[in-house]
Amino acid sequence: MWNKGSLNINGMECTYWVKHYEEPSEEYGIDGGRISKLEIRVNGKTTCSYERGWETEPEDETSQLAFAAMMQKFN
């Protein structure tokens, strides 16, 4: 259920940790999906954080692209 890894987006290192389930959750998942926890760091700085609710939404382009990749792969 936990995955971690890294992506290179626009020449920047994006690391991620994601907790996802086999079935979607309307109550806890992002947009009612399978991801219940997600953290994305760009060059070591947390730029996206979700733990059954938004703590930090992705605002810059790199974070948004990394978030989109996580949604496509895990949600």
Residue 48 CA to residue 1 CA, distance in Å, equals 19
Q: Which two tokens stand for residue 65?
A: 């692209």
Query: Which residues form the domain of 69?
Result: 2-74
Provide the number of structural domains found in the chain: 1
CA–CA distance from 75 to each of 34, 43, 63, 64 (Å)?
A: 5, 24, 17, 15
Give bridge partners of residue 16 from the DSSP assignment: 5, 40
Q: Note whether 74 and 34 are within 8 A (CB).
A: yes
Quote the pTM value: 0.92
pLDDT tens by residue, the chain, 75 residues: 899 999 999 899 999 999 999 999 999 999 999 999 999 999 999 999 999 899 999 999 999 999 999 999 999
